[in-house]
Amino acid sequence: MSIRKALEAAILVLALGGLALPAAAQSKSTPPQGPFAEDFSLLTPPVPAPLEVFQDLDGAPVRLADFKGDVVLLNFWATWCAPCVREMPALDRLQSILGREGLRVVAVSIDRGGKQVVARFAKRIGLQNLALYLDPKSALARAFGVSGLPATFLIDAEGRVARARLGAAEWDSHAAVSLIRYYLKEGGGESGMRNAGAGD
């Protein structure tokens, strides 16, 4: 199954009410269960993340493969998206909580105004921990089959898309932190210690 088809299937499942963890998908341990996990749909099996290039705020090219070894929470957002604006502080706090354990929150803006618009927004709402990125032509968003904002994908330490969620969430909640920590313990922690301080 292609990345786009797998992700489109996950988004469809979200619309239908979530996906329970199949027994075959269990690995070393079972991820935390509950409403948050069910809304953060599981891709079974995980699929390789797309290779499309996006940019950091300085315009340098970035690929998701650059983060291999870390667990990545990839969030597509825009400054004009009200639910995105509401959840950005929670994503900022999540990076602060789990950054030293190996999590990289990669917040990718699809704003066409680029760095100026995004940097001004980040300063206005007081973001301190997030690394912000740009996808002004929405190439990466299209590769993920994003059809609405915010859209968030959990990418494991091997560079595979493991979960997908459409819509805002309380990313610094106990349920969110516990679920993401499961993936960090499954393979992202050591890299996180090497990269301690990045984004926090």
Per-residue model confidence as pLDDT tens digits over 141-154: 999 999 999 999 99
What confidence score (pLDDT) does residue 52 get? Answer: 97
Q: What is the mean pLDDT of residues 23-48?
A: 79
Lookup: tokens for 134:
């740009």
Q: Tell whether 199 is covered by a domain.
A: no
| CATH number for 162 | 3.40.30.10
Q: What is the mean pLDDT of residues 5-12?
A: 57
Q: Work out how many domains the chain is built from and give that number.
A: 1
Instruction: Evaluate if pTM is beyond 0.95.
Output: no
Percent helix, strand and coil across the chain, each rounded to 5? Answer: 40, 20, 35
What confidence score (pLDDT) does residue 10 get? Answer: 56
By the 8 A CB rule, do 112 and 134 touch?
no
Q: Tell whether 200 is covered by a domain.
A: no
Res 195 pLDDT > 60: no
